[in-house]
Amino acid sequence: MIISILGNGCSKCKTLEQRLVALNEEHGFCFELQKVTDFNEILKFGVMMTPGLVLDGTLKSVGTVPNDNQLLSWIKETSA
C-alpha cells in the first residue's frame, strides 16, 4: 500500500506524518509513506487545502488531520 501526504510541509502535514509513522510502528502495517510537495501533483487530486491524504490512489481527507481511529479504519479497509 502507498500512503501519500499531499502538502508542502505545514504543521498539519508534519502531524499527519508523525501519526502515520506511530500507527505503523504500533500495528506493523506494511505501507510506503510518500510526501507529495509538487503543487501540480497536489492539484491533480483537486486538493486546495493541505494536508491531503491519499491511500492507494484514493483521496481520503483534505485540510485536516484525521484522528487515529479514522486512520486505522482507512488503512485496514485499503489493505484488505
Choice among 1, 10, 22, 48 that is catalytic: 10
Judge whether 13 counts as a catalytic residue.
yes
Residues 6 or more apart in contact with residue 33 via CB below 8 angstroms: 3, 4, 5, 17, 20, 21, 24
Q: Which of 3, 5, 13, 54 is catalytic?
A: 13
Q: Which helix (H) or strand (E) holds 78?
A: helix 68-79
Q: Indicate which residues carry an active-site annotation.
A: 10, 13
